[in-house]
């Protein structure tokens, strides 16, 4: 199974887009001394829905950005390494954008701009929210993963695309 297929399947299993992309490379990450699958699931959990359903940067692009950190890490004082990392992130984003037209979740889903009505998002606050102010966007409650959901959304295909972009880079650079 290719990493692209794995990312596609992980999304269909219920993982968010960022988790699906990153977890499709969990063996590569662990081999490079990075965290295991459980830590990766937690690390990526808030990036679904364009960062917590804010519909901003697509979670697949966030996943590629996280992977860039494992491919091309940068220490705080190493400007050259930072530049290399940022160049890799920009390259991944450019390749993704050239094939999809955008890196923004709401645009990829064909949604309008987020509503800014002055009211806080609906739904329960949840155990992790504390007294934090919630964003003025749609509900944080994830959509039900039904056959209709999968029929209307390109997310599984976008996960596959993002994984293929990273995999192509690794192959082109002898990193597999």
Taking only the tens of pLDDT, the chain with its 176 residues reads: 999 999 999 999 999 999 999 999 999 999 999 999 999 999 999 999 999 999 999 999 999 999 999 999 999 999 999 999 999 999 999 999 999 999 999 999 998 755 554 434 444 444 455 445 444 467 899 989 999 998 999 999 999 999 999 999 999 999 97
Give the model's pLDDT for residue 114. 52
Give the model's pLDDT for residue 126. 46
CA distance 18 to 139: 19
Give the model's pLDDT for residue 138. 74
- Collect contacts of 40-47 with beta carbons under 8 A, ≥24 apart: 41/15, 44/16, 44/18, 44/19, 45/16, 45/19, 47/16, 47/17, 47/18, 47/19
Tokens 């029929």 label which residue?
151
Give the model's pLDDT for residue 137. 61
Give the model's pLDDT for residue 128. 52
| Contact of 26 with 40, CB cutoff 8 Å | yes
Give the model's pLDDT for residue 117. 41
Tokens 């937690």 label which residue?
42
CA distance 102 to 77: 32
């Amino acid at each position: 199974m290719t990493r692209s297929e794995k990312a596609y399947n992980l999304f269909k299993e219920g993982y968010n887009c960022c988790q699906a992309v990153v977890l499709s490379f969990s063996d590569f990450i662990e081999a490079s001394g990075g965290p295991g699958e459980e830590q990766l699931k937690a690390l990526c959990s808030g990036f679904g829905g364009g960062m917590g359903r804010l519909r901003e940067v697509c979670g697949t692009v966030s996943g590629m950005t996280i992977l860039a950190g494992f491919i091309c890490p940068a220490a705080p004082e190493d400007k050259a390494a930072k530049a290399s990392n940022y160049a890799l992130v920009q390259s991944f984003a450019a390749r993704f954008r050239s094939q999809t037209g955008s890196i923004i979740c709401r645009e990829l889903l064909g949604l309008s701009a987020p509503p800014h009505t002055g009211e806080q998002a609906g739904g329960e606050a949840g155990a992790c929210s504390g007294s934090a102010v919630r964003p003025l966007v749609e509900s944080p409650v994830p959509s039900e993963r039904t056959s209709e959901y999968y029929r209307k959304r390109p997310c599984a295909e976008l996960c596959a695309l993002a994984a293929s972009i990273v995999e192509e880079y690794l192959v082109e650079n002898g990193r597999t």
